[in-house]
Structure 1
């Protein structure tokens, strides 16, 4: 039995794309827009020993599974066709035996994973307990310390790696990132002379925006040493030293208190759902009475806590964990914060990811020269797949705005939203 024949036996419906294999077999429409080509036995072994997104990701990142008809910087349309058209059925026992024989016993031994892959969850225990400070620092290092130049190529001049807010469908990515920071500032009610703490600050975009546009004294903290160095240099170049600062520091180790506002933009995904109570309690302790929190993070459509998929966990966000906005609101309330407003920006993230993929495709050669083709392939695949997940409402993006209302019930929040 050929590889293509073995594959066909698992399908519920005809393929909307073409698949070819190194044994000369092929399946799917000859005139299909997209073709996946399995080039060697190692690629087959990846697919067989880790069925699903991890095996396919390994083969693709290693170059053993190639895609024609789409650029590796933006394989969105191919993934869309794959997700809509690839429906498997469970084989019978006799079919399963025949399939295993056809792929060969040697291919049932997992090959070494590509070097871009992080260790599995059980091995990370050696780095510390899940979401301990040491293990969190290692997870952040894996994802964010890739290369500042690479991020410049993908993210664009804003150097902002979080969901943008598009004022119109025609807005550019840079306009939308500016609007995102300004929306956060408006929701926090920032005023000249106030103090802002931005936790998980990335390359300092919110810190610089608050200082430059609102005259706020802003402190940002990040667990990425490269981010902190880049941000401090940008602050200096923009003449914001007197107002803005970014430190290489865990948010749990910030000693200052009495902040007028705290922004958390894209951090909550990394801290672990069981740590939400301690997280919101720590934020509450940093705020002055009537101070505000804006929490911006990826969520699930339900409040069931789930870990990220195997490919995302190994190649993108080690230890990532998501839940619904209801859980976030509940734990913020239980920590003593009064939730004033929440907003779902799901489709804005799909548009943001489309912009990042366009940047990666446009700068592909330089990106590959900077980090290697394997890492560049990871990013193209992950961003395109994430875009599809946001569009299909498999994941969402929520803003939760809360105040540290005092014991007399005073929140200093306006009668109606002002932003």
Structure 2
């Protein structure tokens, strides 16, 4: 009896570590059954990942804000504005792709600085600031775009949104895809083991070794499976490579830099962070600047995928990103969250969106389902935090 109780206790203690991956696998298999296998076909998996890249990029910037106890609900509107700006620069002013990308990123930084100034130095709640900015950017999009679609973008610009890495050695399977995924798997394993080592060095609580190994094995298996499905289609989209690179970079920033540690400290307790010597205002300002830069990158990838800027572009994208962050383990109360969790969470949310579209659910029902997912995710986060 004692042995049975111990086993149950271990399961309860460790189930949350794998719940996200378990949910994703279960939901994807369910959609595959409901769509007669269409959901997990190579072409749909490729389209799903390219769609999820936009949300995941936004989520990477968003998770830093949530960790610090802030939020940005203007991200979708800012993405739409930046996309319209980029389309005007290329299609109407005939600027080159590189110049358009540089100017778009600069404007993204300015947008982040705008939000960051009001939040960090004027002490206005980020929800109010970004809600006001959302209206401003929606208005600017209509103002400079004239309420019409602008395009098409050049083939060179669209490579990041629509292109695939070239194949090597064989036309039946993209060998380069398998090689690159093997490299990313190795990098992921190294980062996970380093994170565990760093936590042990600071005498922080770490999970049992077998649990970390099991988590790594499951995630690596999922990555390899997805890679094989992509390899037998066209290979890895450039958008996915961009997402993986940014995920790795900002995972390192969050886990292994002073900036990342300050972000967690601010979200944990802002007053204690101030007393410990952290410049909370400057750090908060830089978090919004970082969000603006990532939003610009996401807008470039999204515009490249759809080839033209539309007045509705970016609508509700911030809610998909926020939902993905929370589903991926971030807390609305600050101090908790990971970049990898945010990316996996947004892929799950995008998968649900894609699956509902394949089932031909109306827009009304899709909005109801996504709203309930966000509500329940936040409710579970708050209840869990209060219990702790």
**Same-fold call, TM cutoff 0.5:** no
- When Rg is computed on C-alpha atoms for both structures, the one with the higher figure is 1
- Per residue, is there more helix in 1 or in 2? 2
- Per residue, is there more strand in 1 or in 2? 1
User: What TM-score, normalized to structure 1?
Assistant: 0.27
User: What TM-score, normalized to structure 2?
Assistant: 0.28
